[in-house]
Each structure stands twice: as structure tokens, then as C-alpha cells.
Structure 1
Amino acid sequence: MADPIPTAPDGADPSFADLIAARPSLKMDALDGLLLEEVPLHRIARECGTPTWVYSAGTLRRRYRALRTALDDAGLAATIHYATKANDAQAVLRVLATEGAGADIVSAGELRATMAAGIPAGATVFSGVGKQAEEIVFALGQGIFQFNAESAEEIEMISAIASGMGVEAPVSLRVNPDVDAGTHAKITTGRAENKFGIAFEDAAALYARMASLPGIRPIGIATHIGSQITGGVAAYREAYARLAELVRGLQAQGLPVRRIDCGGGLGIPYRDEIPAPPEALAGAIKATLGDLGLPLMLEPGRWIAGPAGVLLASVILQKQAVNRRFVVLDAAMNDLIRPAMYEAWHGVLPLSPVAAKAETSPADVVGPVCESGDTFARDRALPMLDPGDLVAFLDAGAYGAVMSSTYNARPLAAEVLVDGSRHAVIRPRQTPEELLAHQRIPDWLDAVPAAPEPAAS
């Protein structure tokens, strides 16, 4: 079953104990402090430094299996295609590949990554609004399972490329059902004003056009209404009901519909949200699409990977301003950009068992980057923290490392996988030398003159 949900009084942040209780992979040990599975996180910080991403293989498996079981128990013939954009670490992909997951990708780079980790192209869906010609050629050459086409122009391009290669491209039409999923404006994808998919009223005619083109093998209908959906399953029901209406209309015209891609987007509890469990999503799918008798697909990303990861950081210093206490960390917005980009909330836990029980007071948690937006949390209840103390950002396994950058010439953080009592570095910390290694100075630029000697005092 899915992980429990944190509880807190109305308007209050969850306590440290609440956050830990709702995350089965975490435990606060009286001696070793915060554990991920069976590994003390302070040990990883000591070995690898900070900031460092740490992922739980057990959580990846548990959540994948919970979704798999919900679909099976609902009697749905459905395949799961992990949304690679959430976390494309090779070790994460390998864990899911061994569970039997397919992949959902949005670039040729992600296709190369998933294949390298053991997920074949024949189990991979290629989504995205801007597939380039060379990416389409590459995917066809690898035997891609399905393209989710998002425009009439893209369909024409796929037809021309596939015909020129002498192959048929399996293409599903991504339909925008104009349904408001009630999520953040920057991660909604199923409304009429979003860039994704085909307008519902245009879909039937475009599907018929697609079926007449050379080099195209029509596969079915796809949708995806947004990410981090926590308002129950009503939006899913509305979207899937529209899909069912469309599919029946296409079948009445004698057009082939072989499967339906239901997308992803199921949310996770970062703070105290109460997202629908996978059983509710499976029920919504069965109620709206089950009687069509077609194979189904899902594309979860965050739901699987988000709760599997933490970001470790060290305290640089505490700064006491006139009316605020600032906890300055060595992690920054270039590492975890979600709070700056989405106003996202992440639990912040001290690793020390003593600090976790100490008296708290409000503090702003910030990084060292030269941006006011380099703020992780405001007025967060935290104990007094000394330089070198360690904290963990929770639920950082999705849209964390994959969105990180080297802004302010800060090297990319290390990544570690935990599996039971074992742990291993899966991506070493980038060195300053590696950060500069691929840059070049044109030979026509003059050499830098020697700096003048400082004047004698």
C-alpha cells in the first residue's frame, strides 16, 4: 500500500516526528540519528561531503509495487512507464528496470539513458512537444514503443521521416481535455491554454488524418493533465471520461484504437497534502475507461521517485538579523530549485537526534547563492544549529538533481544510493577542474596581462 500521510494541526507545519512517521524509509535512531533505510545519513555526509543527494532503493521498489498492485487488483491490463524526467540517475533507472517498469521520455538523451540502464526502447514512450528530426530518426531506429504526438505539424514530420526510412511509426495522439487539475500553474498541462497536446474538439479529425498518412501506425489516445495533483481523482475522472467519449467516436468511424495512455501526475505529501492513493486512481480509470477493453498505460514519475530521495546539507552559519534568524546552508537553489521556482515546501530535518528533540524557533533556511530567491523555507521551526551541523531536505528524489545547475560556478553535488544496509556513490561530486574542463578561450583573445604589484603601504 502507499505510504501514510503526515498529519498536523490546521495551519501548522508537521513536526519532525510527524514527518518521519509518514515516511517508512526514515528513522531517527537514538545514537546514529536520522537513518535512510538502515544507513546513518551522517555517515554518508562524512564520506561524501555535502550537499549530497541520497536515494532509497527500497522506497522506489515499494512505491512501484504499490501502484502495480492497485492496477492489478482493479483488474486493469496496464503497463507502467516511469517518467524519466523526474530522476534519470542510472542506478534509479536500473532499480525500476528490474521491477519491470517501462519508461516515458522526452528527449533522445533520456532514451539513451533508459536503454543504458536496461529499459528497452520497445517499452518506452516518447512524449514532448518539440521532438527534433534526428531524435525521431534515432527512436525509430531503436524500435520505440510509441510516440505521443502533440501537434498536426509533428504528425506530418513523423510521417515524412518514417516513410523515408521505410518503416511505420507507432503514434498515439496526445489530447488536451481542457481539465483543470487544480495544481500549480507551472505544472498544469491539461488546460486549453497549455502548450501540450491537441485540443479536444480537433482530436477526432486529426486522428482520422493521421490514420491516412504513410509511415504512421495509429496506436491510440494519450493525455496528461498535470503534475503533483492532490485534489482527489475528480479531475482524472473528468479527463478520462472525455477520452472514453473520443475513443468510442473513433471506433464508430472504424478507426483503429489499440491502447490508451492515462498519463501520470499523482501527487505526494510534501507537507500535509492528502493526495489520492493509487487505489483511487485505479478506480477512476476502471470506472471511466475499463469497459472499453483496451490495454492501458500510466506514466508516474514524482509519485515513485519523490519520496525516495533526500538532499543532505551542512550549516555554514546562523545569521541573526533584526527580526529574523537565517540558517545558511552549503546547499543552494542551484542544487534544489523547486522552492525558488514553484514555492515548493520540503521538510527540513536535523540529522542529530539531540537537535531533533531540542527547543525550536522560527528560522529562514537559505543558501549561499547571490540571489534573494535562494531561500528554501521561511519561518520554519528549527533548533539552534551550529556550523557543521547537518540537515536533510525530504522528498527530494524527483525534480531535484535533474534540475540542478552549476550557477555561481558551484560543482554538481554527489549522488548516493542506499539499499538496506548498503550504500554506494552513483555519481561522484563534480570537481572544480571538471567544471572548467569543457570550456575554451578562443586563440584570438589576448593573454591576460600580469596584475600590477600592489603599492607599498
Structure 2
Amino acid sequence: MNTTADTVARRTGFERIDGELCCDGFPLSEVARLHATPTYVYSSELIREKYRRYDAAFGDTAHLVCYAAKANSTMGVLGLLAAEGAGFDIVSQGELMRVLHAGGDPKRIVFSGVGKTRSDIAAGLAAGIRCFNVESLAELERIDAVARELGVVAPVSMRVNPDVDPHTNARIATGLKSAKFGIALRDVKDAYRRAAELANLRVEGISCHIGSQVSDPRPYEEMTEVLFALLRELDADGIRVAHVDFGGGAAVAYRVGDPELAPEALVERLAALTKEKAPYPVEILIEPGRSIVAEAGVLLTTVEYVKPMEADADCCIVDASMTELIRPTLYDAWHRIEPVAHPARAGAKPVNIVGPVCESSDWLGSRREIEVAAGDVLAVCTAGAYGMSMASNYNSRPLPAEVMIEKGLPTTLRERQDVLELFAAERAPECAKQGPLDEEAFERVNRVRLAFLNAAR
């Protein structure tokens, strides 16, 4: 077979073999045939490679790479990373249970998030997590209270809001003083002093996260200046920490030529700054998410109709939508979109690629110069992060299937949600129990529906 990488870079785990787009050597058209669409497909090899690059870049420096589960919390992805020895950054009780069920070590879990409930805190304490990243003084008091009720000592790390501009999209910047995240600089020392007074708290670290899609190391350098200055002041008060958590946020390239920040470049700079400026030895924690899984995933979708428009771009209506991938709607995010069967050819009439959801904002790509026809399978690339984890059932649409290519073969991570599952947990009030279809009619509709689903496979 002739292998080329003319439209999808080889480093992403996706390449064209005899002109057809494949994931780790397996044809994506075959995934679409076996599982229908919309379906997410992940490269296990690329996920491992990205994690290992972060881990290896530290060398002998004491460290822990905590994968940010919010980027993609699918059990198969979490389990793969747990097997690699990864730590995890979580932001909810649901993510905690997912990580534990996937084999994650609770001693390698940090719990972030601005709105931790008493139940969240109790679950984290019961699991024996490494620490809570505390985001407010009120939360600090709540953690102490819950720990006292449970008769345990809670490990804590203050998440600092350093007021550092990450020079990224305003909707994914988290380190400015206007953001809801972290404890304001003016209050951080008071938080540590208060933690030292409370019998059911144990200070473990200091943490920070400035935002996502950060392509320049300089904002991280500004962040380290703030954190290490705080450590020196706290040390003078007799308060020391065991680790410094620098968060995540390294940029990935969604377009050819986009700026990105390689794992090695970020880690080596953070390690060097820590060695040079930390007032005493500390372990380094980082929380990469997007940069581990984004390039490792594509969303497969089928063209349903090509609708001629009076405008200068026709409308390509596909079976995926904002319910599967909301990033274009939410952030005006750009994803490369390619036909699976053949490379995109320049000069084709532009098309707007839109979904079937009843919202004008339901689009995946605008003015894309690709040749499309009904029945074609398209791949929405660099979709492994904040795709499935942000998917919804809006318009009563079932969640898509997820497949991972492992050792050259597809493994089902998630079966496609059945439409009957959408309301299986719901209960109608007594006055609404009589529906428009009797039981026999409902079963007839369901039999026909299943016959069409089976024929599609």
C-alpha cells in the first residue's frame, strides 16, 4: 500500500492509505460502516504518546502528570491513561467516580472546581484523594467542616488567581482577576494562615491554572513569578508546601500553522524555573487535558443532503450537530473537515457544513472547499477534546458511539445511545399517563425503527 500524509499530518495518528483516511492503520470508512454515524474515533497510540511525552520531559524531576478529565472523560480514555500511571485532575463527583471505576489511583487525584458541594467534598475524602484545589475562603471552611464531621484530615492546596493574561480566547482564560476561578492574590496568605489554624486541614500545595490554548511560555513564566514569591512569603511565616501545581492549557494546532506549545517546551521551562526560583525543593504537578487527547480524536459524520443556496456557499447537511460537537457554536472554534474516502481538493465550491438541530448556530464548518455528495462520510478532525464530554441530548438526540483503535483494530468504548434510553428514567404525572399511542402502536413504531437501524448497519 502507498501511504501518504498529504492532508492529515502523520503525527496525529491519522494518515491516508491508498487515498483513504485511516486511524492507526484502520480505515475510517469501515468504522462508519460498522458503527454508523455520528461516531467519535480515537487513536490509542497517540493518547499514549502525548502522555508519555509529558512524563518523559520531566526526567529525574519529581512530578505528577494529572490528566484533566473534563477534556474527555470517556471510561476507555481514562482507563488507558490510568494504566500509564497518570494522575487526574477532576472537577466533579461524577468525574471522581469515573476515574476510580477506570482504575485511577485516588492518591494521584486532585479535585478542582469553584462550586464543590458538601457531597463532592465527602466523596473526595472517602476516596482518599491527593488534595483539594481550594478556590475560595468559604470553600476552605466547608472542607474543614466536612472533614471534621467525618473524623479525617483533608489535604488542601490553594488555587491562586495570579491575574496573568494568557493571551487566549476570553471564554477560556481562567487566570485573570475577573475570572471566577481561584483565590485573589490579596487573600491567598490569609487562606494559608487559616488552613494552618484548622485542625482538620493539612496544607499540601499551591496551584494555579491560567487558561487554555496558551501558545507562548511567557504567561507561565509570569505565573511562576507570582507563585514562587508567595512561597517565599509563606515560608517566612513557617508554612511550606510539598508541591506546586502549574495547571495545564498548552495550545494544540487546529489549523496547519497554528501556534502550539509542545509538551517538552512547557515542561522543560517549568522545571528549569522551579529549580532556579523555588525557595526549597517541591514536586511539580501539571494538568494537561486538551493537549493529550484533542489530536487523537475525530468525529465521523455522514452527509444527508446537499442543499443548493442562493448564497455563494451551498448547505451541506450532515447527521452530526452541535449536540455532538458544540465547540464551533460555543467558541467559534475551527476544525479541519475532510472527506474520508479521498483527500480534499482545492477549488471545490465552498459549502457550509451544518447539522440537523433546530438552531441557526448549529454548524460545524463554514465555507469549506470540499466536494461533497449525499452519503459521503466526513471526518471532523482534532475533535478528541471537549467533544464527547460536552455532548448533549438537545432536540432529544441520542449520544453518539465512541470507538478506539487499539493495536490496529476498533474497540467499542460506548454504544450509541438508543432513543428509548432518552426517557427511560423519566416518569409522567398521573394526569398525563394516557399517551397518544396505545402500547400496541408504540411497539409497532419501535419495531419499524429497529428494522431501519439494523439495515443501516
1:261-318: CA deviation from partner (whole Å, max 9, x where unpaired): 1100111001131112122212331343224221110111001011111000000111
Aligned counterparts of 1:217 and 1:124: Cα–Cα separation in 2: 16
3-state SS in 2 of match to 1:178 = coil
Residue 429, structure 1, aligned to residue 416, structure 2: yes
**1:363-378 alignment, distance < 5 Å:** 363-378=351-366
Aligned counterparts of 1:84 and 1:450: Cα–Cα separation in 2: 42
Residue 338, structure 1, aligned to residue 327, structure 2: yes
Q: Which amino acid aligns with 1:378?
A: S
Segments of 5+ residues of structure 2 without an aligned counterpart are 439-457
Residue 381, structure 1, aligned to residue 359, structure 2: no
Residue 351, structure 1, aligned to residue 340, structure 2: yes
Aligned counterparts of 1:443 and 1:21: Cα–Cα separation in 2: 58
3-state SS in 2 of match to 1:444 = helix
Question: Which stretch shifts more, 415-424 or 296-305?
Answer: 415-424
Contact preservation (8 Å) 2:7, 2:344: no
**Residue of 33, 42, 47 corresponding to 1:60:** 47
Aligned counterparts of 1:313 and 1:445: Cα–Cα separation in 2: 37
Aligned counterparts of 1:89 and 1:76: Cα–Cα separation in 2: 30
| Structure 2 partner of 1:408 | 395
Residue 242, structure 1, aligned to residue 216, structure 2: no
Aligned counterparts of 2:378 and 2:145: Cα–Cα separation in 1: 53
Residue 302, structure 1, aligned to residue 326, structure 2: no
TM-score, normalised via structure 2 length: 0.91
Structure 1 residue 19, shift from structure 2 partner: 4.4
**Residue of 242, 245, 260 corresponding to 1:261:** 245
| Structure 2 partner of 1:10 | none
| Structure 1 partner of 2:26 | 39
Aligned counterparts of 2:40 and 2:436: Cα–Cα separation in 1: 41
Contact preservation (8 Å) 1:39, 1:420: no
Structure 1 residue 408, shift from structure 2 partner: 1.1
Question: Which stretch shifts more, 163-172 or 356-365?
Answer: 356-365
| Structure 2 partner of 1:3 | none
Contact preservation (8 Å) 2:347, 2:369: no
Question: Which stretch shifts more, 306-315 or 199-208?
Answer: 199-208
Aligned counterparts of 1:331 and 1:300: Cα–Cα separation in 2: 27
1:159-200: CA deviation from partner (whole Å, max 9, x where unpaired): 111112111100000000000101111111000000000111
Aligned counterparts of 1:446 and 1:99: Cα–Cα separation in 2: 50
Contact preservation (8 Å) 2:65, 2:288: yes
1:87-144: CA deviation from partner (whole Å, max 9, x where unpaired): 1111111111111101110111111100111102111000000111011111111111
Q: Which amino acid aligns with 1:93?
A: L
Aligned counterparts of 1:150 and 1:449: Cα–Cα separation in 2: 50
**1:180-199 alignment, distance < 5 Å:** 180-199=165-184
Change (3 A) 1:17 1:38: closer
**Residue of 417, 438, 447 corresponding to 2:434:** 447
Aligned counterparts of 1:440 and 1:450: Cα–Cα separation in 2: 17
Contact preservation (8 Å) 1:241, 1:289: no
Change (3 A) 1:130 1:331: same
Question: Which stretch shifts more, 204-213 or 305-314?
Answer: 204-213
| Structure 2 partner of 1:144 | 129
| Structure 1 partner of 2:455 | none
Contact preservation (8 Å) 1:19, 1:347: no
3-state SS in 2 of match to 1:356 = coil
Contact preservation (8 Å) 2:345, 2:370: no
Q: Which amino acid aligns with 2:37?
A: T
Contact preservation (8 Å) 1:250, 1:257: no
Aligned counterparts of 2:435 and 2:194: Cα–Cα separation in 1: 62
**1:71-220 alignment, distance < 5 Å:** 71-72=58-59, 75-220=60-205
TM-score, normalised via structure 1 length: 0.91
Aligned counterparts of 2:56 and 2:397: Cα–Cα separation in 1: 42
List, as ranges, runs of 4+ consecutive aligned residues in structure 1 with deviation greater than 4 Å.
16-19, 448-451
Aligned counterparts of 1:224 and 1:358: Cα–Cα separation in 2: 40
Question: Which stretch shifts more, 208-217 or 435-444?
Answer: 435-444
Aligned counterparts of 2:417 and 2:146: Cα–Cα separation in 1: 39
Aligned counterparts of 1:450 and 1:87: Cα–Cα separation in 2: 39
Contact preservation (8 Å) 1:244, 1:288: no
1:356-388: CA deviation from partner (whole Å, max 9, x where unpaired): 3475221111111111100111111112x1111
Contact preservation (8 Å) 1:180, 1:225: yes
Q: Which amino acid aligns with 2:367?
A: D
Aligned counterparts of 1:330 and 1:106: Cα–Cα separation in 2: 31
Q: Which amino acid aligns with 1:59?
A: L
3-state SS in 1 of match to 2:434 = coil
Contact preservation (8 Å) 1:221, 1:261: yes
3-state SS in 2 of match to 1:179 = coil
Structure 1 residue 347, shift from structure 2 partner: 0.6
Aligned counterparts of 1:410 and 1:315: Cα–Cα separation in 2: 17
| Structure 1 partner of 2:442 | none
Aligned counterparts of 2:295 and 2:434: Cα–Cα separation in 1: 50
| Structure 1 partner of 2:449 | none
Aligned counterparts of 1:23 and 1:332: Cα–Cα separation in 2: 27
3-state SS in 2 of match to 1:360 = coil
Structure 1 residue 444, shift from structure 2 partner: 2.7
Aligned residues: 430
Aligned counterparts of 1:83 and 1:450: Cα–Cα separation in 2: 46
Residue 228, structure 1, aligned to residue 228, structure 2: no
Q: Which amino acid aligns with 2:402?
A: E
Aligned counterparts of 1:378 and 1:224: Cα–Cα separation in 2: 32
Structure 1 residue 17, shift from structure 2 partner: 5.8
RMSD over aligned Cα, in angstroms? Answer: 1.7
